[in-house]
Amino acid sequence: MSSLELWQRMLPLALGAALSPLLLLGQLSQLTGSGRRGVALRRSLAYLLGTAVVVLAWSVAAGWIAHRLPPHQPGADPVAAAVQLLLALALLSLALQTLRRPQPSAPAAVAADQPAGLWASWCQGLALMAVNVTSLVLFLPAAQDVGRSGLPWSERLGAWIGLDLITLLPIWLPPLLVVLSGRSGARLLERLGAWVARHRRAIDASVAAGFALLLGLRGLAAL
């Protein structure tokens, strides 16, 4: 597998792992919950670090597993087919469960400047990423593609870093937007957060169903 082929396979899954209303709303609650910009940005950074711990743990575990699987080969690939078909079924089940449950509520905004605020933000990031099953299910086949690509270590390391950064996109992009654009960026994020909160169930179900179809087709093609 060439580096270009790896990124073509990995990028859609990484972007799907990033499409998490829960994680985005959690980050927006850090940025909009305090009147002081500096406090909000520090909480946002703590939240980012909490989510990053989980993603790094995913990377280590997925890399360990992929290292013990046979390298990717042209043509039929039973290992990839089995993994992708199983994950497609898991995503389809998640989509159906999402449509059946009531509209979930957004994470509550942090209101007070308390000493434990940074620790609470870190714990919230850790917890929300840990329970974000859709991102994990899409992260795993992307990680498998990286680990089984057979590319030199330097190229695989770049792909791992890219996968982690893209997965964390809804976490690090909002504070960066606030830093670069100030109050106008904060107002834009507030409007985005309100829209995402209203349509969260539809977004979750659409992402799960759409990527279940993608993984199912890839799994069948690898048989």
| Encoded tokens for 171 | 């976490």
Q: How many domains does the chain have?
A: 1
Six-digit token string for 96: 């159906």
- Tell me if the pTM is above 0.95: no
Query: Hunting for tokens 């190229």 — which residue is that?
Result: 155
pLDDT in single tens digits along all 223 residues of the chain? 788 889 998 999 999 999 999 999 999 988 876 567 788 889 999 999 999 999 999 999 988 888 887 787 777 778 788 888 999 999 999 899 888 877 666 565 554 444 457 889 999 999 999 999 899 999 998 998 898 888 898 898 999 999 999 999 999 999 999 899 878 888 888 898 889 988 888 999 999 999 999 999 988 988 7
Q: Which of 66, 81, 91, 72 is nearest to 16 (CA)?
A: 91
Q: Phi/psi class of residue 182: alpha, beta or left (left: φ > 0; alpha: ψ in -120 to 50)? A: left
Helix spans in the chain (H): 3-18, 21-32, 37-67, 78-100, 117-130, 133-147, 153-167, 169-181, 183-198, 200-221
Full residue range of the structural domain in which residue 162 is found: 3-221
Residue 114: the pLDDT is 47
Burial class (CB in 10 A: 0-12, 13-18, 19+), 124: buried
**Per-residue tokens: 140:** 């795993």
Distance CA 16, CA 29 (A): 22
Look at residue 109 in the predicted model and tell me its pLDDT. 54
**178 contacts: CB under 8 Å, gap ≥ 6:** 31, 37, 40, 41, 44, 185, 186, 189
